[in-house]
Structure 1
């Protein structure tokens, strides 16, 4: 069999334990680079704006362009892996991501940087779903808990390290390049990823590949655009009427897309996404819980950063360092899961995680009101991070546990897209609530007070996650 026609599941099953570990290490490289790039640019925005004389709108697009392209193309990228091979799409994505990163670093004006950032997001959308798909092929359902739990830890740590690494690189001003090394650093990491992928990742595609569904792709992309685009930039533009209209258009687009996918599946079974996937209880509930959890987490990280800087007067690098207890907590949460908490508690691990995260958020309210004393602040962030880790670790493997491997890429793309959408909703919705309550977040005292009501919204979302967790099957990993 050729690399294109080989069965990826059989190729993965033929790997030795050492080869599986090497393949996992390859996926970790891509995953960390992807997550880092999503947050590292935030700390560089002032330097980029000054150096390129970028307008406020251009700055919004430098940040939102990546998120928009990434979120829109994730499901399509996942299905392309099912069709044409997971390693092939992974390589295409990581090569394209590395080249577009270099283009970002070489940009001589804001327009070129915006276009390169959009290209980064698009190529990341080809790469990211293959990570989840290949993990499904390399490991059985119960094994994925520990593996994906480790990815949850790495994701949380990488997201928090992004501003710290970015701030350090900018401060170092390597060769007088200022902010540009935050993009150039992706090139050597990309080369390492390509070499490792060629050597270690299993070849092949889904055992039952489907024909390409171009109409389904167009409908899904249009629906995600209508959702993510206004959420990404609407707040910064003051929610003009056309942004609101685009959000409203999401409803008929979702209805049209679901009708089309259902009809295409019934006709020849080759739809981009089979709606029946969502009738699988673990996947359907897992997707909804992932969306709400990502919304709460994104809102928490955004509002915490605003309060630390505006309410407590920290500079960006100090505020990034202040997140370290949160990262440690996330690591401990994932570590408990890796040592067997899921087999012992099952779905109740998610309930416990939600309770810990709620406790941490509630504890932050009096801590911020008191001016952020170091020890109570660190303890509250540690508790919130612990809960986040206990939620983030098992949610993905639980959602994917009973998904047919033939749909590994598409299901992985759906989960990544939902997480991206939740992040956008959290930043736009919870962020807008905070800024409204804080009257633009111009005064320290008002900013600290605004966190109280915002915390209530996040607690309510996490209570819904706990309720959804209780609706999951009692035995999570039965066939």
Structure 2
């Protein structure tokens, strides 16, 4: 991917260094808004349904619609930054995101809120990819790594605080707005980012040599949307043949997307993904691992939020606090991954740790059944989080060790898009399993526990499949890779 030609010099004096850190602060605030909005509806979903109406599928679409749109938009987000300037696209993205947040806060129906959530995801995809180029433009090469090193801990803290803040805002019911505050709070923050970004972010010159494959982007979006639609609504329609056809058509569209990308490259036209990547074992395996594992992550987060509120009668704030051990565990897992090294072995240890946590929770739900409370789940939730952090930390570095230098940019963007797609598929699949089991256990006080344990069994299956595919990845990360192509 071609970088924008920056018109300002990298910081070499204390004043310029300070300006560089100001850029980091602005783009991180934008990334945090995106992260929080991908998480908040897992906690606020039941409250939204009680207010607006809508069924089980509505709860799934609240999260899946956002992450699906983000996945589709990321394929062209970085290209738009190249074509029109990273600062300009960041500001357009955050301005649109802020407006969409206002519309979400005033949504009058389930359909309107889902539509706005999809718009939020698309606009977030316009904003988020610009962060890398803006930070690189603001620091000399020997300082960029330090700046990037800050992003992980900050976003990890956002992952811890997001569900808690969402629960607090819903419970506090400021101005009588209830769940609407989780979106309304984005508005003053977004306005502040727009003002700060206009002043602080470095300008860049658009690169007119970069093209945009609109047809390819639409084909990929259609394929991803068809798969998620079928998974979410299959239970609603009792899995008729046309739902299966829609899912199959979605996968077919994604295959056609890959084929057409290769054809465009042979014709000398711009592509969204470097076609040679589809011949790399590490890249293809990385796509599978990312879709499965990130799906298990966000999907299980939805399961716990639903169980805490619908099954145990917790308030949104209590549910957010109960989920905190998992988020804190992820931070611990990130730290442990640095000690163990960013290797395939660390990923396997992470997968095993996640499975241990899931299986413990499944056994607890079976043993305690209708008398289960949140307290026994806190420790295994922390174990799940530790494993997730250990498995995620090496993921991108290891997958990128299996691609060539000129393919790294395209591979990184594609992996991030598949991460978001995996989130949507995980929410759709695990949510469907949860609500299906729940529908067959109406009147049974152990129904919620049984639904949780069954859906977690599927989530554990996702993790096992991800671990098996990981055997196809390089053993080490990109910097000291022992390539196993």
TM-score between both structures, scaled by the size of structure 1: 0.83
**Structure 1, residues 107-152: CA drift from partner, whole Å, max 9, x if none?**
4555554443332222122123334565677788987984564366
Which sits farther off after the overlay, 42-51 or 319-328?
42-51
For residues 5 and 142 of structure 1, the distance between their equivalents in structure 2, rounded to whole angstroms, comes to: 18
Instruction: Measure the CA separation in 1 of the matches of 2:380 and 2:120.
Output: 35
Deviations 1:10-52 (A, max 9, x none): 9668796544443332222112211222232354455545655
Partner of 1:307, secondary structure, is: helix
Task: Work out whether residues 129 and 412 of structure 1, in 8 Å CA contact, stay in contact via their aligned partners in 2.
Answer: no
Task: Measure how far apart 1:93 and its partner are.
Answer: 0.8
Structure-1 residue corresponding to 2:350: 353
C-alpha distance 32-403 of structure 1, shift in aligned 2 (>3 A): farther
Q: Report if the CA contact (8 A) 1:209-1:406 is conserved.
A: no
> 3-state DSSP class of the match of 2:270?
coil
Give SS of 1:270's match.
coil
Aligned to 1:384: 384
Runs of at least 5 residues in structure 2 that lack an aligned partner in the other structure: 481-485
Matching of residues 300-311 of structure 1 within 5 Å: 300-311=300-311
| RMSD (Å), alpha carbons | 3.7
State the distance in 2 between where 1:24 and 1:57 align: 38
Instruction: Output the CA distance in 1 between the equivalents of 2:29 and 2:422.
Output: 24
- Asked whether the 8 Å contact 1:81–1:409 carries over to 2, the reply is no
Which segment drifts farther, 453-462 or 27-36? 453-462
Residues 57 and 277 of structure 1: CA distance in aligned 2, closer, same or farther (over 3 Å): closer
What CA distance in whole angstroms lies between the structure 2 residues aligned with 1:282 and 1:206?
33
Cα distance in 2, alignment partners of residues 431 and 94 from structure 1: 30
Matched, 1:275 2:278: no
Q: Which moved more, 1:89-98 or 1:445-454?
A: 445-454
- Which of 360, 364, 367 pairs up with 1:363? 360
- Would you say the 8 A contact 1:295–1:425 is kept in 2? yes
- Identify which of structures 1 and 2 has the higher relative contact order when contacts are C-alpha pairs closer than 8 Å and 6+ apart: 1
Provide Cα deviations, 1:43-98, integer angstroms capped at 9, x if missing partner: 44555456556688877766654344333322122332233333322221111000
Q: Give the conservation status (yes or no) of the 8 Å contact 1:298–1:426.
A: yes
Aligned match of 2:215: 215
Cα deviation digits, residues 388-442 of structure 1 (max 9, x gap): 1112233234445677888777545423321222122222223333444444454
Match of 2:461 in 1: 460
2 CA distance for matches of 1:13 and 1:284? 39
2 CA distance for matches of 1:405 and 1:82?
19
The whole-number CA distance in structure 1 between the counterparts of 2:197 and 2:406 is 21
| Structure 1: segments with no counterpart, 5+ residues | none
Given that 1:351 and 1:466 are in contact with CA atoms closer than 8 Å, whether structure 2 keeps it comes out as yes
Displacement, 1:9?
11
Q: Structure 1 residues 408, 13: closer, same or farther in 2, change over 3 A?
A: farther
Using the size of structure 2 for normalisation, the TM-score is 0.82
Structure 1 counterpart of 2:448: 447
Name 2:330's counterpart in structure 1: 330
Distance in 1 (alpha carbons) for counterparts of 2:406 and 2:208: 6
Mapped contact 1:76–1:410 kept (Cα < 8 A):
no
Alpha carbons of structure 1 residues 276 and 150: separation in structure 2 relative to 1, 3 Å: farther
- The alignment partner of 1:444 has SS state of coil
Aligned-pair distance for 1:359?
1.3
SS at match of 2:420: helix
Counterpart of 2:243? 243
Q: Which residue of 2 aligns with 1:157?
A: 160
Q: Which residue is equivalent to 1:231?
A: 231
Q: Which residue is 1:341 aligned to?
A: 339
Distance 1:114 1:327, change over 3 A: closer
Deviations 1:321-359 (A, max 9, x none): 21111121112112334xx336x3522221121121111
